[in-house]
Chain A
Amino acid sequence: MRTGRSRLAIAVLVLAASVAIGCGVGGDEGGTGARAINWYVFNEPGGAYDQAVAECNEQAGGRYQINYVKLPTDANQQRELIVRRLAAEDDSIDLVGMDVIWTAELAEAGWILPWEGEDRAAAEEDKLDGPLKTVEYQGEVWGIPFTSNTQLLWYRKDLVDAPGDDVTWDEIIDDAAAKGKGVEVQGAQYEGLTVWINSMTAGAGGQIVDQNGDVKVDDSAVVAAEIESKLANSKAAPPGMATNKEDDARLGFEGGRSVYQVNYPYIYPSAAAVGEDFQKNIGWARYPRSVKDEESRPPLGGINIGVSAYSTKPDLAFEAATCLASPEHQAVAAEKGGLPPTTESVYDTPQVQKAYPFADLLRESIEAAAPRPVTPAYSDISLAIQKTFHPPDSVDPNGIEQKLRHRMAKAAAGKIF
C-alpha cells in the first residue's frame, strides 16, 4: 500500500513535470548562449525551415547558432504569442517570422528594428514589388521578405471552359450556378474573409485603408458586398459557405461539389493525393476581376523576418535573417513547403519551375497583388471588416458603406464595435 502510494506520487510528479516542460513553445524554448539566435516562426511541416536553419548555422561557422522555435500554424495565435512577449520586452526573441500584416503594428510599437545600410540593401535586393511593400512602414524597411503567397482561380478543366484573363466574379458565379455546381471561397468570420473582401474591393479600384492608415471606404466596398451577397444567395454557394476556410474550400473542390475555387497554391500538390487524374483536370487562371474593365488584385500573404528590438545581439540577428531569407532558401521553401518566393530571380530556378507549373502566373499575381491595410491597428480593422461582411448571405450592399465606415472609425479609435 505504502509503496503503491509513493509510486503513484512519483508518477504524478513525473507527469506534472512533463506537462510543465511541454508547456514551452513547441517544446523548444530556444537557446540562451552568447551566440544563440532564436527565431520565432510558425511550424513549417515540409522541413524547409529546418533545412534553412541547418545550412545557415553551417555557413556561420560557429559565429551564431539559430534555434528554430516553432509557433502554432494559426496566424492569430502566432501574433498573440509574439505580441505579448514583445510587449513584455522578452529578450529571448531575436528574430520574428512576421505575417505580412504585422509590420505596421510591430514597428509602431517599437518592437522591431528598422533595416539600414547594407542590411536594407540586402532586404530589398531583387524583391518583387508586392512583398517589398509589406515590409515598408513610414519610409523605413522593417524586415526582409522571405516567402510570399497569393491565390489563383482554380477550375475543373473537364467541366468548365478555361476562363480568360479578364474573367469576372459574376461570370464564374453564373457559370457554376448554371451547371449546378459551386464556387469555393473563404467565407468564415476570420482573417480569410478580410483577405477576400480586401481583394475584391481593390479589384474595384478602391481601398479600405490608405497608405497613411486613414480609413477610406468608398463604393468599391459596395462592389465587394454585391459579389459576396450574389454568391451567397445563388445556387453556386457551397454548403457551409459562412463557415468555410481554406481547407474546407479545398475539400469542397476535391469532393466535386464545386468547379471553381479561389485558394492558395498548396491545393495543387494536395490534389495529387486525390488521384493522378484529378490533378490533371485542375486548371489555373488569374484571380477573378471585380469589374470587367479593371485588372484583378489577388491577395498577398507571406512571411517576413524582422529583428526584435529587445535582441541582445542585433548585428548577428540581421546577418542570420539575411541568410535565412536568401534566394537558395526561398527555393527550398518553395520546393518543400509550397511557399512562393519573394525574390524575382528565384522564379526562374528549375526547382521552382518544377514545383509550380504555374510559376509565371504566380509571379504575375504577386506583382499585381493588393496588400492588406498597412496600419498599426490592423487587427482592429480586420475584425471590423469581418464583422461587417458576415454572414455572407445577409450582407446588404446598400447599407454596407455606412456600416463599414462606422465600425472602422470605432476600431481606429480603440472603441468597442
Chain B
Amino acid sequence: MEAGQVAAPVAAAPKRKKVTDRAKAERKLGWLLCAPAVIAMLIVTGYPIGYAVYLSLQKYDLRFPDDKEFVGFSNYADVLTSTTWWTDVATTLIITVASVAIELVLGMLIALVMHRAIFGRGPVRAAVLIPYGIVTVVAAFAWRYAFDPASGFVAGLPLISDSAAPLTERGGSLLVIVMTEVWKTTPFMALLLLAGLSLVPDELHEAAKVDGASALQRFYSITLPLMRPAILVALLFRTLDAFRIFDSAFILTGGANGTETVSILGYNVLINRVNLGLGSAVSILIFICVILIATFFVKALGTSTAQQRGET
C-alpha cells in the first residue's frame, strides 16, 4: 500500500539524462501489461461517464422522448441557480465533515487498541469489524427503528423524553445519520489506520522512551507524523464515500426535514422523475465535487510523501 513508502524511503532517484533502449522496452511492456485493465476501465467507467456528460447536455425526459433536444449547459445552469442544490451541498458537507472527523478520532483509538491488544488479537479485530460487515440498508433500518418513538428503545431510555422523535426534525435527523455513518464505517477507518500504525518502527518508540518522552509526546511526535500518509489515505477514502452518502440517509429520512443529500437529489431527479438530462447534470456535478475532494487529498498526500523522502 501507499504506506509502504514510509517504511522504505526510496533513495532519491538519480537524474536520467536520456532514456535508454532498455527503459523504453520496459515502459512498453508496462503499458502492455496494464492495457487489459485500462481497456476494462474505459468500457465500464469511461463510457458511462461520457454518456452521462452527453445526456447532461440534452433536454431528455424518459416520459417525453419526442421532446429530446440539445440544450447546452442549461441543465447545469438550472441546477446551479437553484437553492435546492446549494442547500443539499451544505447538508452533505455537514454530514461528511462531522462523520469523518468523529470516525478519525474513534478509528485512531480503536486502531491503537487493536495494535496493542496482547491477547485475543484475532477476536478483537473481528469484533470491531462486525458493523462494517452489515449491509448499510439493514443497519440504517435498525437505527431508524431504534429511534422511532413507537417501536424503538431509545425513547424508553432514562433521561430521554418518551415521545422523543429525533428523525422528525433537522438537527436530530442529521445527528442520527452521522451516528449511523460513524457506527458503520469507523471499523474501516480503524483498519486503514492500523495498517499505518503497524509500519511505525518500534525502535523509534524505544529510543524516545529512553530519552524520557511521555506516551503522549511519543504519539504526537513519532506516531502521528509517520502515519500521515496512512491518515490521508483513510481520510480520502472516507470523505469520498461520505460525500456520496445515499443509502443510510435515504432509509432514515428519505431526504425529509432538510436532510436531502446531493445523491438523494440525483436519485429523485434521475430515477423518480426520470429526467435523464437534468439528473445527469446533477450526477456530473457530484462527480466534479468528488474529483475536487480527491485532488485536494492527493495533493496533500503528495507533499507529505515528498516530505517523508526529504525532497522538500
Binding site for B on A (CB under 8 A): 76, 80, 83-84, 87, 105, 108-109, 188-190, 239-243, 248, 251-252, 255, 257, 376-377, 379-380, 383, 390-391, 393, 414-417
Q: Which residues of A contact B229 (CB under 8 A)?
A: none
User: Complex formed: what's the CA distance from A324 to B167 in Å?
Assistant: 42
Cα–Cα distance between A383 and B168 once the two chains are bound (Å): 18
C-alpha gap A233/B256 in the complex (Å): 18
Number of interface residues of B (CB under 8 A): 38
Residues of chain B in range 256-300 having any CB-CB distance to chain A below 8 Å: 256-257, 265, 268-269, 271-275, 278, 282
Contact A391 B268 (CB under 8 A): no
Given contacts A414-B278, A417-B82, A417-B84, contact A391 B64 (CB under 8 A): no
The 8 closest A-B pairs by CB, nearest first: A189-B256, A242-B168, A239-B163, A239-B149, A416-B82, A240-B165, A109-B63, A87-B62
Task: Give every chain B residue within 8 A of A188 (Cβ-Cβ).
Answer: 254, 256
B82 and A379 within 8 A (CB): no
Q: Mark B46-77, 1 if CB is under 8 A from A, else 0.
A: 00000000000001011111000000000000
The answer to the question of B150 belonging to the interface, with a C-beta cut-off of 8 Å to chain A, is yes
Question: How many angstroms between the C-alpha atoms of A189 and B271 in the bound complex?
Answer: 17
A415 touches B82 (CB 8 A): yes
Please determine whether B61 and A414 come into contact, CB atoms closer than 8 angstroms: yes
In the assembled complex, the Cα of A267 lies from the Cα of B248 at a distance in Å of 29
Give the residue name and chain of the A residue nearest to B63 (CB). A109
CB neighbours (8 Å) of B193 from chain A are none
Cα–Cα distance between A105 and B273 once the two chains are bound (Å): 11
Select which of B148, B255, B272 is within 8 A of A379 by beta carbon.
B272
Q: Which residue of A lies closest to B265 (CB)?
A: A416
A248, A252, A415 — most chain B CB neighbours (10 Å): A415
Once bound together, how far apart are the Cα atoms of A80 and B271, in whole Å? Answer: 7
CB distance from B65 to the nearest CB of A (A): 7
Complex: chain B residue closest to A252, CB-CB:
B150
- Say whether B217 faces chain A, with CB atoms less than 8 Å apart: no
Known: A109-B65, A242-B168, A383-B268. A390 touches B150 (CB 8 A): no
Smallest CB gap from B79: residue in A: A416
**Once the chains bind, are A109 and B64 in contact (CB under 8 Å)?**
yes
Residues of B within 8 A of A84 (CB): 62, 274
Cβ–Cβ contact A240 & B149, under 8 A: yes
B: residues with CB less than 8 A from A are 59, 61-65, 78-79, 82, 84-85, 148-151, 155, 162-165, 167-169, 253-257, 265, 268-269, 271-275, 278, 282
Give the docked Cα–Cα distance between A87 and B111 (Å): 49
Number of A-B contacts (CB under 8 A): 97
CB distance from B26 to the nearest CB of A (A): 34
**Contacting pair B278 A416 (CB below 8 A):** yes
Q: Could you tell me if A248 and B254 are in contact, using CB atoms closer than 8 angstroms?
A: no
What are the residues of chain A within 8 A of B155 when measuring CB–CB?
239
Give the chain A neighbours of B151 by CB distance below 8 A: 251
User: In the bound complex, do residue A243 and residue B165 qualify as a contact, i.e. CB atoms below 8 Å apart?
Assistant: yes
Q: Kindly provide the distance from the CB of A218 to the nearest chain B CB, expressed in whole angstroms.
A: 25
Chain A residues, Cβ within 8 Å of B169? 242, 391
A86 to B, closest residue via Cβ: B62
List residues of chain A with CB within 8 A of the CB of B268.
383
Quote the shortest CB–CB distance from B146 to chain A (angstroms).
13
Are the C-beta atoms of B168 and A240 separated by less than 8 Å?
A: yes
Q: How far is the CA of A43 from the CA of B282 in the complex (A)?
A: 33
Given the interface contacts A108-B63, A109-B63, does A242 sit within 8 Å of B256 by beta carbon? yes
- Known pairs A80-B272, A239-B149, A239-B155 / 10 extra A-B pairs, C-beta < 8 Å: A109-B65, A189-B256, A240-B168, A242-B165, A242-B167, A243-B148, A257-B150, A379-B274, A383-B272, A416-B85
B149 surroundings in chain A (CB, below 8 A): 239-240
Could you tell me the distance in whole angstroms from the C-beta of A379 to the nearest C-beta in chain B? 5
Enumerate chain B residues within 8 angstroms of A190, measured Cβ to Cβ: 254
- 29 A-B pairs (CB sep. < 8 Å): A83-B63, A84-B62, A87-B274, A105-B63, A108-B64, A109-B62, A109-B63, A109-B65, A188-B254, A239-B150, A239-B155, A239-B163, A239-B165, A240-B165, A243-B253, A248-B150, A257-B150, A376-B63, A376-B64, A379-B272, A390-B256, A414-B61, A415-B82, A416-B78, A416-B79, A416-B82, A416-B84, A416-B269, A417-B84
- What separation, in Å, do the CA atoms of A273 and B59 have in the docked complex? 52
A contact residues around B164 at 8 Å (CB): 239
Asked if B278 and A415 sit within 8 Å, CB to CB, the answer is yes
